[in-house]
A and B are shown apart, each in its own frame.
Chain A
Amino acid sequence: MNPLLEPVGVSHFMAVGALMFVCGVVCMATKRNALGVLMGIELVLNGANINFVALSSSFLSASGKSGLGLDGQFIALFVIVLAAAEAAVALAITLNFYNNHATVDVDRADELKG
């Protein structure tokens, strides 16, 4: 059956969100550049946001009622704002670390190691 002829549902959005989440987790785990880790965090937050928005949509689910209502969109809005705040602080810390140590390699940021 041709997928282009069928309407998409919440599951399709959640599959996209899951893929972006997994990409973000792998990005956080494998990148050695501190800014690469930051990009992984952005991908994870976006994957979560897709799930929230899809669950708050009323015409994607079979019964025509949304699970979260408008609350999902409120949470997605707060996630976007908090991601901006988190990026600002993480970037400031990275720049400070770069100024002090002349590197952005997270493997060399081990001064706090016990």
Chain B
Amino acid sequence: MESINWHSFFFFLFALVSCGFAVMVVLSSNIVRMAFYLTISLGATAGLFFLAGADFIGAMQLMIYVGGTLVLLVFGVMLTAQGPFVSMKTRGGDWILAAVLSGSLLALLVPAAFTVREWRGPSPVDAVARMEPTSTPLGMGLLGIRVDKLEDRPEKLKEGMSSYLLPFEIVSVHLLVVLVGAAYLARTKRRRDVRMESL
């Protein structure tokens, strides 16, 4: 028996978990279970990022997405999940439309992913030997220095325009504005009773 390619084995494991729970998010109509399935699906996606060699992105996926965004989402679910909102059924006609839409999108996207010869698969290489940590190049790139592209700096990249310093600044200001806005929008107010007003 030939030896199993463990990279492929773990890829198929994580791909099965992330895709399976993504499908279950769609099929479930209970909002609390949907949040739980989404957590598992995004956690398995972090495993896929690690397998693609993006260690820092995988860690950020676990910390920001699974640890931050989804906790926020679960809080939203808990604050609004009362009585009829826990499970809201989708109408039958919508399911037919969704099946047609998803089938045609999948029939378009998946064969398109396998058309490019370059993407079909690597020649047998020792992938582990070529793995290198990406957090330092990513951090330097956010500060304005592309240490991964130092050799083609004079020709292709202009001085000061080669990295992600400006997007980094914009994203940090954007986060500040968004958090202030979210805190302003979600401040507690007394709920207006619709039935009382109609009297």
Contact = CB atoms under 8 A, between A and B. Distances in A.
22 contacts: A4-B5, A9-B119, A23-B23, A25-B102, A33-B31, A39-B73, A42-B38, A42-B70, A43-B22, A56-B52, A57-B53, A59-B122, A62-B119, A63-B118, A64-B123, A73-B56, A84-B64, A84-B65, A88-B72, A92-B183, A95-B76, A95-B186
Nearest to B53: A57
B153 interface: no
Given A15-B114, A49-B61, A86-B178, 11 more contacts: A13-B11, A24-B22, A25-B101, A26-B102, A35-B77, A38-B76, A69-B148, A76-B49, A84-B65, A88-B178, A99-B189
Contacts of B65: 42, 46, 80, 83-84
Interface of B: 2-5, 7-9, 11-12, 15, 18-19, 22-23, 25-26, 31, 34-35, 38, 41-42, 45, 48-49, 52-54, 56-57, 60-61, 64-65, 68-70, 72-73, 75-77, 79-80, 85, 88-90, 94-95, 97-98, 101-102, 105-106, 109-110, 113-114, 116-125, 127, 130-131, 134, 137-138, 141-142, 146, 148-149, 164, 167, 171, 174-175, 178-179, 181-186, 189, 191-192, 194
Contacts of B56: 73, 77
Please classify the interface of chain A as helix (H, G, I), strand (E, B), loop, or mixed, using the class held by over half of its residues. helix
A3 B8 contact: yes
Interface residues of A, number: 80
Interface in A40-76: 42-43, 46, 49-50, 53-54, 56-64, 69-70, 73-74, 76
Interface in A78-92: 78, 80-89, 91-92
B43 to A, nearest CB: 11
Interface string A77-114: 11011111111110111111011111111000000000
Contact of B110 (A18, A26, A27, A36): A18
B109 A21 contact: yes
A53 B56 CA distance: 11
B161 to A, nearest CB: 14
A16 to B, nearest CB: 5
A62 B105 contact: no
A13 B64 CA distance: 22
- Closest CB pairs A-B (n = 5): A9-B121, A14-B113, A18-B109, A92-B185, A10-B119
Contacts of A100: 189, 191-192
Contacts of A39: 25, 34-35, 38, 73
Contacts of A9: 119-122
A94 B122 contact: no
Nearest to B170: A78
B122 A78 contact: no
A95 B189 CA distance: 10
Contacts of A88: 72, 178-179, 182
